[in-house]
Structure 1
């Protein structure tokens, strides 16, 4: 605590740098329409227990998720958001759940999660394809990815992987469609190498890459920022795991 004052200044400056790179959007207040999604007992109890910390209703509102939409869940991990979207879009909507083939080859649980969400939700379609070539169908309303955009810069993958994925997302979205990215924040200027060492990414790098694909940044939300995170610790470190500071960006494909 003897350096608390200086530490506070540093953390405040880090948060300011994150927010200064985009049009800051305050936390979305109109989340009542998602109450039924959060209460949906078809979702596992363990998922519902995480809704508060993941700000699920606020994320859904920020991403403008609505019944009847077709949503691409990009690199689904364990399928938490796939199940959320399946409930939110309803029986008239569809969720396209993508897990890169390389992830499935690396760890069997990634393939198992994809199979589970496909089998347990009638409105979910699972796709497996190389990480540089996501096989999304056309005319999606939204492509969403949480805590995984940085994986496009992991060392085993070609340097142009992110560019290829962003181009594929742009092609898959309908005009006016949204691309929403949530990820663990790195310090400004950290460089793409921290994707491997810390599993984080600089928000400015994400914005630069996505805008280069033709997207327009529409808003940024600070709902998942945490000034207690120094932004320099590996996200799997027990001291910070589950409590990282995360940015939320919303890009739109021009109509």
Structure 2
């Protein structure tokens, strides 16, 4: 045997080989991590698109979902997922033990979301995509643990559908169930007329809508706050990323500000 071959054998012999028990322990550690932090594990899902992962720094999904109390065994409705940003997290989180409804309005948005889900049945095969309507007949009344809506209440206010939509939320939730809302925040001292065109809402407005539907206010988190956002843009919230309605004009300025200042509010359906 030549010297080169002998050296290779000696090096190979020197490399540590993990016994089977150690390999199994490694798998157990990974499973234990997933059980201990299921939301963190869902965030690491390889099926999330890179451009969506890049926006975690603005949307703080782990902290947001934990604040709302989402767990893998719940029945969860996401109202108007649109492109499916949160759906990419909620689907793997709820796939094994929970039930996940994606309630999307009929039309092109519904068709795009359906195509996204159909393209990856391994990840999204258990997602129940249902057409949104108020009342939400596709979801059994009183069956939902948590209903989530991200940056959608301003659309209800602008379209005049807020009362009917909040009632539908209330009807499908279990007694004690949670309504979690994230939306663009308008300072309380601003003219309320801005809520009809800017995409921003006052916290007091959202609380009023939820409480009028019967919900109890639980609390707020500042996890999605952005003090750089003045909420005073000629083209509304869409001036900021991700829309950047001004195109290349002052783009660097708006990118430096980041996504909007947002309220994160938690409500509960009373037990009785």
Against the structure 1 CA distance between its residues 240 and 198, is the aligned structure 2 distance closer, same or farther, given a 3 Å change threshold? farther
* Superposition deviation, residue 240 in structure 1: 4.3
* Superposition deviation, residue 34 in structure 1: 2.2
Q: Output the CA distance in 2 between the equivalents of 1:254 and 1:119.
A: 39
- Matched residue, 1:21: none
* Superposition deviation, residue 226 in structure 1: 1.3
Over residues 105-133 of structure 1, what are the superposed CA-to-partner deviations in whole Å (9 max), with x where a residue is unaligned? xxx34531244235530221111134x44
- Matched residue, 1:24: none
CA contact (8 A) 2:136 2:172 kept: no
Q: Secondary structure at the match of 1:123?
A: coil
Q: Output the CA distance in 2 between the equivalents of 1:164 and 1:225.
A: 28
Q: Secondary structure at the match of 2:56?
A: coil
Q: How does 1:116-131 map to 2 (within 5 A)?
A: 116-117=116-117, 120=120, 121-130=124-133
Q: Output the CA distance in 1 between the equivalents of 2:116 and 2:38.
A: 27
Q: How does 1:231-246 map to 2 (within 5 A)?
A: 231-233=231-233, 234-237=236-239, 238=244, 240=254, 242-246=258-262
CA contact (8 A) 2:38 2:72 kept: no
Query: What count of residue pairs does the alignment treat as equivalent?
Result: 215
* Superposition deviation, residue 33 in structure 1: 4.3
Q: How does 1:36-51 map to 2 (within 5 A)?
A: 36-51=41-56
After superposition, the CA RMSD in angstroms is 2.1
Greater relative contact order: 1 or 2 (C-alpha under 8 angstroms, separation 6 or more)? 1
Over residues 196-215 of structure 1, what are the superposed CA-to-partner deviations in whole Å (9 max), with x where a residue is unaligned? 42111111100001011111
Match status 1:82 vs 2:96: no
Against the structure 1 CA distance between its residues 205 and 56, is the aligned structure 2 distance closer, same or farther, given a 3 Å change threshold? same
Uncovered stretches (5+) of structure 2, i.e. residues with no partner:
1-35, 245-252
- Matched residue, 1:220: 220
Select the structure that is richer in helix. 2
Q: Output the CA distance in 1 between the equivalents of 2:101 and 2:204.
A: 28
Against the structure 1 CA distance between its residues 91 and 71, is the aligned structure 2 distance closer, same or farther, given a 3 Å change threshold? same
Q: Output the CA distance in 1 between the equivalents of 2:80 and 2:45.
A: 23
